[in-house]
Amino acid sequence: MNNKNLNNFRRNYQLDSLDIEICKNNPHEQFQDWLSDAIAANLYEPNAMQLATAGNNQQPCIRTVLLKEVIEDGFVFYTNYESKKGQQIAQNNKAALLFWWREHERQVRIEGIIEKYNRSESEKYFYSRPKSSQIGAITSPQSQIIPNRAFLDERYNKLVAEYEKTKVPFPENWGGYILIPTLFEFWQGRESRLHDRIEYIYEENSWIKRRLAP
Protein backbone atom coordinates (compact mmCIF):
# COMPACT_ATOMS: atom_id res chain seq x y z
CA MET A 1 0.00 0.00 0.00
CA ASN A 2 1.24 3.47 -0.90
CA ASN A 3 1.16 5.57 2.26
CA LYS A 4 0.15 8.56 0.17
CA ASN A 5 -3.24 6.90 -0.11
CA LEU A 6 -3.78 7.75 3.56
CA ASN A 7 -4.44 11.31 2.44
CA ASN A 8 -7.61 10.07 0.79
CA PHE A 9 -9.10 8.47 3.90
CA ARG A 10 -11.73 10.94 4.99
CA ARG A 11 -15.10 10.58 6.67
CA ASN A 12 -17.79 13.23 6.91
CA TYR A 13 -19.45 13.03 10.32
CA GLN A 14 -23.19 13.64 10.21
CA LEU A 15 -24.87 11.52 12.89
CA ASP A 16 -25.46 14.05 15.64
CA SER A 17 -24.65 17.44 17.15
CA LEU A 18 -23.76 18.63 20.63
CA ASP A 19 -25.15 21.91 21.95
CA ILE A 20 -23.73 23.36 25.13
CA GLU A 21 -27.24 24.26 26.29
CA ILE A 22 -28.33 20.62 26.40
CA CYS A 23 -25.14 19.32 28.04
CA LYS A 24 -25.53 18.47 31.70
CA ASN A 25 -23.97 20.93 34.14
CA ASN A 26 -22.11 18.03 35.75
CA PRO A 27 -19.75 16.26 33.30
CA HIS A 28 -20.04 12.99 35.24
CA GLU A 29 -23.75 12.94 34.35
CA GLN A 30 -23.01 13.81 30.73
CA PHE A 31 -20.50 10.97 30.57
CA GLN A 32 -22.99 8.52 32.06
CA ASP A 33 -25.50 9.50 29.36
CA TRP A 34 -23.02 8.81 26.56
CA LEU A 35 -21.76 5.59 28.13
CA SER A 36 -25.36 4.41 28.53
CA ASP A 37 -25.98 5.17 24.84
CA ALA A 38 -22.92 3.09 23.89
CA ILE A 39 -24.01 0.17 26.07
CA ALA A 40 -27.62 0.30 24.83
CA ALA A 41 -26.37 0.25 21.23
CA ASN A 42 -24.33 -2.88 22.02
CA LEU A 43 -21.12 -1.28 20.81
CA TYR A 44 -18.00 -3.45 20.95
CA GLU A 45 -16.44 -3.08 24.43
CA PRO A 46 -18.02 0.30 25.21
CA ASN A 47 -15.94 0.44 28.41
CA ALA A 48 -12.61 0.28 26.57
CA MET A 49 -10.51 3.39 27.21
CA GLN A 50 -7.03 4.58 26.37
CA LEU A 51 -4.94 5.41 29.45
CA ALA A 52 -2.01 7.81 29.02
CA THR A 53 0.66 8.08 31.71
CA ALA A 54 4.18 9.48 31.96
CA GLY A 55 6.88 8.72 34.50
CA ASN A 56 9.89 10.70 35.63
CA ASN A 57 11.35 10.81 32.12
CA GLN A 58 8.19 12.63 30.91
CA GLN A 59 7.83 10.23 27.97
CA PRO A 60 4.07 9.66 27.47
CA CYS A 61 2.91 6.05 27.22
CA ILE A 62 -0.58 4.98 26.16
CA ARG A 63 -2.45 1.69 26.18
CA THR A 64 -6.03 0.39 26.21
CA VAL A 65 -7.55 -0.74 29.50
CA LEU A 66 -11.11 -1.51 30.56
CA LEU A 67 -13.20 0.78 32.72
CA LYS A 68 -14.66 -1.37 35.50
CA GLU A 69 -16.61 1.11 37.60
CA VAL A 70 -17.79 4.71 37.46
CA ILE A 71 -18.32 6.25 40.87
CA GLU A 72 -18.99 9.77 42.05
CA ASP A 73 -15.27 10.51 42.42
CA GLY A 74 -14.04 9.03 39.17
CA PHE A 75 -13.13 6.10 36.94
CA VAL A 76 -11.87 2.76 38.24
CA PHE A 77 -9.66 0.22 36.45
CA TYR A 78 -7.50 -2.69 37.64
CA THR A 79 -3.95 -3.73 36.87
CA ASN A 80 -0.65 -5.00 38.20
CA TYR A 81 0.93 -2.31 40.38
CA GLU A 82 4.40 -3.39 39.20
CA SER A 83 3.53 -2.98 35.51
CA LYS A 84 4.94 -0.12 33.45
CA LYS A 85 1.82 1.96 33.99
CA GLY A 86 1.90 1.19 37.71
CA GLN A 87 5.50 2.36 37.94
CA GLN A 88 4.73 5.51 35.97
CA ILE A 89 1.71 6.31 38.15
CA ALA A 90 3.90 5.92 41.25
CA GLN A 91 6.31 8.49 39.78
CA ASN A 92 3.68 10.88 38.40
CA ASN A 93 0.01 10.59 39.31
CA LYS A 94 -1.24 12.87 36.52
CA ALA A 95 -2.89 10.90 33.71
CA ALA A 96 -5.48 11.04 30.93
CA LEU A 97 -8.23 8.81 29.55
CA LEU A 98 -9.78 8.66 26.11
CA PHE A 99 -13.05 6.97 25.11
CA TRP A 100 -13.78 6.59 21.38
CA TRP A 101 -17.23 5.37 20.35
CA ARG A 102 -16.75 5.19 16.59
CA GLU A 103 -20.27 4.14 15.68
CA HIS A 104 -21.68 7.21 17.47
CA GLU A 105 -18.92 9.51 16.17
CA ARG A 106 -18.19 10.50 19.77
CA GLN A 107 -15.06 10.91 21.85
CA VAL A 108 -14.54 11.81 25.49
CA ARG A 109 -11.18 13.01 26.75
CA ILE A 110 -10.54 13.16 30.51
CA GLU A 111 -7.57 14.47 32.51
CA GLY A 112 -7.03 13.99 36.22
CA ILE A 113 -5.15 12.56 39.16
CA ILE A 114 -4.77 8.82 39.81
CA GLU A 115 -4.86 7.19 43.23
CA LYS A 116 -4.92 3.56 44.34
CA TYR A 117 -8.46 2.32 44.83
CA ASN A 118 -9.87 0.93 48.05
CA ARG A 119 -8.08 -2.34 48.83
CA SER A 120 -11.19 -4.17 49.98
CA GLU A 121 -13.02 -3.20 46.78
CA SER A 122 -10.07 -4.44 44.74
CA GLU A 123 -10.20 -7.78 46.53
CA LYS A 124 -13.95 -8.01 46.00
CA TYR A 125 -13.50 -7.39 42.28
CA PHE A 126 -10.61 -9.88 42.05
CA TYR A 127 -12.79 -12.71 43.36
CA SER A 128 -15.70 -11.72 41.12
CA ARG A 129 -13.54 -12.63 38.10
CA PRO A 130 -13.40 -16.13 36.61
CA LYS A 131 -10.80 -18.29 38.33
CA SER A 132 -8.84 -18.45 35.08
CA SER A 133 -8.50 -14.64 35.14
CA GLN A 134 -7.44 -14.72 38.78
CA ILE A 135 -4.70 -17.20 37.90
CA GLY A 136 -3.76 -15.11 34.87
CA ALA A 137 -3.21 -12.11 37.16
CA ILE A 138 -0.69 -13.98 39.30
CA THR A 139 0.89 -15.74 36.32
CA SER A 140 2.11 -12.69 34.45
CA PRO A 141 5.03 -10.56 35.65
CA GLN A 142 3.44 -7.73 33.69
CA SER A 143 5.75 -5.54 31.57
CA GLN A 144 8.82 -7.59 32.44
CA ILE A 145 10.93 -9.26 29.73
CA ILE A 146 10.19 -12.98 29.42
CA PRO A 147 12.03 -15.62 27.34
CA ASN A 148 9.09 -16.87 25.28
CA ARG A 149 5.36 -17.68 25.25
CA ALA A 150 6.03 -21.12 26.69
CA PHE A 151 7.24 -19.43 29.89
CA LEU A 152 3.73 -18.04 30.45
CA ASP A 153 1.89 -21.19 29.41
CA GLU A 154 3.97 -23.42 31.67
CA ARG A 155 3.63 -21.06 34.60
CA TYR A 156 -0.13 -20.75 34.07
CA ASN A 157 -0.67 -24.52 33.82
CA LYS A 158 1.37 -25.09 36.97
CA LEU A 159 -0.77 -22.58 38.90
CA VAL A 160 -4.00 -24.05 37.53
CA ALA A 161 -2.97 -27.42 38.96
CA GLU A 162 -1.82 -25.86 42.24
CA TYR A 163 -5.10 -24.02 42.85
CA GLU A 164 -7.45 -26.56 41.30
CA LYS A 165 -9.18 -27.21 44.62
CA THR A 166 -8.10 -24.17 46.64
CA LYS A 167 -8.65 -20.44 46.59
CA VAL A 168 -6.31 -18.30 44.53
CA PRO A 169 -4.47 -15.91 46.88
CA PHE A 170 -5.23 -12.23 46.38
CA PRO A 171 -1.93 -10.75 45.10
CA GLU A 172 -0.35 -7.81 46.92
CA ASN A 173 0.89 -6.31 43.65
CA TRP A 174 -2.51 -6.19 41.95
CA GLY A 175 -5.52 -3.96 42.43
CA GLY A 176 -7.49 -0.93 41.39
CA TYR A 177 -6.74 2.64 40.52
CA ILE A 178 -9.18 5.53 40.35
CA LEU A 179 -8.71 8.53 38.09
CA ILE A 180 -10.26 11.62 39.68
CA PRO A 181 -11.07 14.05 36.85
CA THR A 182 -10.10 17.71 36.68
CA LEU A 183 -11.08 18.12 33.00
CA PHE A 184 -13.56 16.58 30.57
CA GLU A 185 -13.91 17.20 26.86
CA PHE A 186 -16.90 15.84 24.92
CA TRP A 187 -16.40 15.65 21.15
CA GLN A 188 -19.16 15.05 18.62
CA GLY A 189 -18.19 14.66 14.97
CA ARG A 190 -19.76 17.16 12.57
CA GLU A 191 -19.63 17.96 8.87
CA SER A 192 -16.66 19.74 7.25
CA ARG A 193 -14.48 19.02 10.28
CA LEU A 194 -16.41 21.65 12.25
CA HIS A 195 -16.82 19.28 15.18
CA ASP A 196 -18.59 20.12 18.44
CA ARG A 197 -16.28 20.27 21.47
CA ILE A 198 -17.61 20.98 24.96
CA GLU A 199 -15.04 21.25 27.74
CA TYR A 200 -15.56 21.14 31.49
CA ILE A 201 -12.83 22.29 33.87
CA TYR A 202 -12.94 22.01 37.66
CA GLU A 203 -12.19 25.31 39.40
CA GLU A 204 -13.02 26.53 42.90
CA ASN A 205 -15.09 23.43 43.74
CA SER A 206 -17.35 23.67 40.69
CA TRP A 207 -17.41 22.66 37.04
CA ILE A 208 -17.15 25.36 34.36
CA LYS A 209 -18.60 24.46 30.96
CA ARG A 210 -17.45 26.08 27.71
CA ARG A 211 -17.33 25.49 23.95
CA LEU A 212 -14.03 25.03 22.12
CA ALA A 213 -13.27 25.59 18.45
CA PRO A 214 -12.70 22.33 16.55
Task: Write out the catalytic residue numbers.
Answer: 193
For 56-87, b where at least 16 C-beta lie within 10 A, e where not — what string? Answer: eeeeeeeeebebeeeeeebbbbbbbbbbbbbe
